Amino acid sequence: MCDIIWCKKEVDGKVCNTVNYLDPYCFWNWEGKVNCAECGAVYYIHMIQGHMYKGPEERPGEKPDTSPLYADKPLDGYTNYSPGVEGRTRPFQCLPRDIYLGVPDMVKFSVRGRPVRGWRPQPPSAGIAGSMPYSWDLKNGSPEVWEEYQKRLNSGEVKDW
């Protein structure tokens, strides 16, 4: 779900007809000015909880606070402006929050305590890409996981459905 500004400004005797997409993460509770990716017209908007409260109102001669993430021209054969076009769209930096940076966990057991196949390193006998589709011999393939599984079984940590 995203909101749009469909620019209908007339430039050189022709209507701009550009759809500027406002992604909800940046414009959820936001008030300011956004530029059109095609003609550069500046629009004032005020969004509350993802809904357009005021605007879009054209503000000629003012500088924009930000740019849309993506824009296209659906009536002109779908020409578009991808994220990161200098002066037209905002760069899209797909970075996780700082709390998610770090080393991923290696999962050897499911929530119920049963061994899963997706852990690393897989033994060479696992074949291409660690695929053991029909026969998965945990005892011979990885003895350390087998021992840990037996300990979990004896302590009662492994649950049935």
Q: What secondary structure, in 3-state letters, does 104-156 show? A: CCCCCECCCCCECCCCCCCCHHHCHHHCCCCCCCHHHHCHHHHHHHHHHHHHC
Q: What single DSSP character describes residue 100?
A: G
Phi, psi of 104 (to 5 degrees): -70, 150
Q: What single DSSP character describes residue 9?
A: -
Q: Domain map of the chain by residue range?
A: 3-91, 101-161
Q: What is the pLDDT of residues 29-65, one digit of tens each?
A: 899 999 999 999 999 999 998 888 998 999 999 999 9
- pTM of the predicted model as reported, rounded to 2 decimal places: 0.57
Q: Which of 83-92, 119-128, 150-159 has the lowest mean pLDDT?
A: 119-128
